[in-house]
Amino acid sequence: MPEIRTGTVAVWRQLSPVLASFRLAPEKRHRFPSYEAGQYMALRREDCRLTRRVAGPDGQTRFLPDLDESGRQKRGPVTHSYSIASAPFQTERDTYVEFLVVLEMASTLGRFTESLFDMAPREGGEMRYVERILGDFTLARRAGDADHILMVATGTGLAPLLSMVRQIDHDASTGRPTPPRVTLFFANRTRPELAFHEELAAIASAGRFDFVYVPTVSRPGDEQGREAIGRGRANNVLRLTLGMPMAEDEALEEAHKAGRDTALLEEALTRAIAPQLPAHVDLTELRNRLDPASTVVLTCGNPGAMRDVRRAAEGVGIRVEQEEW
């Protein structure tokens, strides 16, 4: 069995009230196991609000507070796996692993993330981890010999793909072989939540390998202006590139044809942000990169968006590989 060790949060970067990245240093006199870009590690917090899984009358799984005999929510250890955002070369050189985490806020706060965001102090705080790194969402296992790797990420789903891009850029700078072409579509709600945007833009500008970075936000504000940031959800940006209608338009049209009630779909369409590429990305050139015969999509993020990414990509014959949680 792998050991559970105690590391230290070396750097904490708050991106929004619910989104953060942090670097974890290993337990003293230890190093993290070697790994491939795209893999994950299990983290552990000892004082979490516990929940219990229940099945509702509709068959959907829900998590409710797990209460003791006096009606107070029980507390205890929770272990949760997270994709590693740092690249293997960074961990080997600087000994940390990096993570991108969001405070889960559904019917109850996320058990692990509530404890994580409540940690005080954050920098210098202890974090337990399982001394094992796993996962098959790697370039070697999922991309094979594809001529073009199209990465599509939403939210914290950026983490494994960021690890890959960082490692590819490092390999290119040291003369190692790299994939022929890589494109990254990354969408989050707002500009501050486009984690690592400046770093990714700098990698694209450096041109050490053939890399196109397409950042977009789904809740644009006036501050967007003429920034090199587009608009729309990642799945709709992919649809734009493939010459398809937005998912909301398609769903409404299908409902009309089937004679179903369309009120909710019409409301969803009014809220949808029409996809728009960043000013520096040419639509024709982007489309020319997406040859279905030579492209593989690697996708990670919001399950609903990823289902539509699969539907759109497979609809034109592009193979899709998705990180499953």
Q: What CATH number has the domain bearing residue 129?
A: 2.40.30.10
Q: Is 37 helix (H, G, I), strand (E, B) or coil?
A: coil
On the question of pLDDT at 223 being above 70, the answer is: no
Which residue in the block uniquely carries the two structure tokens 């960082």? 166
Q: Which domain-ending residue is among 104, 134, 164?
A: 134
Kindly state the percentage of the chain with pLDDT values over 70: 96
On the question of pLDDT at 129 being above 70, the answer is: yes
pLDDT in tens, 74-106: 989 999 999 999 999 999 999 999 999 999 875
On the question of pLDDT at 226 being above 80, the answer is: no
Residue (of 63, 187, 217, 49) closest to 117 by Cα position? 49
Angle at 178 between CA 160 and CA 132, to 5 degrees: 35
What pTM was estimated for this model as a whole? 0.93
Does one domain contain both 296 and 195? yes
Region 252-267: mean pLDDT is 86
Query: How much is the pLDDT for 221?
Result: 78
Does one domain contain both 94 and 167? no
Region 273-279: mean pLDDT is 94
Does one domain contain both 150 and 284? yes
On the question of pLDDT at 325 being above 70, the answer is: no
Q: Which domain-ending residue is among 69, 100, 134?
A: 134
Region 133-160: mean pLDDT is 97
Does one domain contain both 73 and 220? no
Does one domain contain both 146 and 31? no
Region 299-313: mean pLDDT is 96
Does one domain contain both 120 and 146? no
Query: How much is the pLDDT for 106?
Result: 54
The parent domain of residue 10 ranges over: 4-134
CATH of the domain at 311: 3.40.50.80
Q: Are 277 and 214 in contact (CB under 8 A)?
A: yes
On the question of pLDDT at 287 being above 90, the answer is: yes
Query: How much is the pLDDT for 222?
Result: 61
Region 218-239: mean pLDDT is 83
CA 93 – CA 164 distance, rounded (Å): 16
From the CB of residue 93, how many other CB atoms can be counted at a distance below 10 Å?
Answer: 10
pLDDT band at 109 (very low <50, low <70, confident <90, very high): low
pLDDT in tens, 19-78: 999 999 999 999 999 999 999 999 999 988 888 888 877 877 777 888 999 999 898 999
Does one domain contain both 83 and 38? yes
Burial 307-323 (b: 16+ CB within 10 A, else e): ebbbebbeeeebbbbbb
CA 99 – CA 22 distance, rounded (Å): 6
The one-letter code for the residue type at 19 is: L
Query: How much is the pLDDT for 11?
Result: 96
Does one domain contain both 107 and 49? yes
Of 115-119, 237-241, 255-259, which has the strongest mean pLDDT?
237-241
Does one domain contain both 128 and 74? yes
Q: Which domain-ending residue is among 87, 104, 134?
A: 134
Query: How much is the pLDDT for 107?
Result: 47
Does one domain contain both 58 and 174? no
Query: Mean pLDDT in the chain?
Result: 92
pLDDT band at 160 (very low <50, low <70, confident <90, very high): very high
Does one domain contain both 82 and 217? no
Q: How many domains does the chain divide into? A: 2
CA 301 – CA 52 distance, rounded (Å): 24
On the question of pLDDT at 255 being above 90, the answer is: no
Does one domain contain both 125 and 154? no
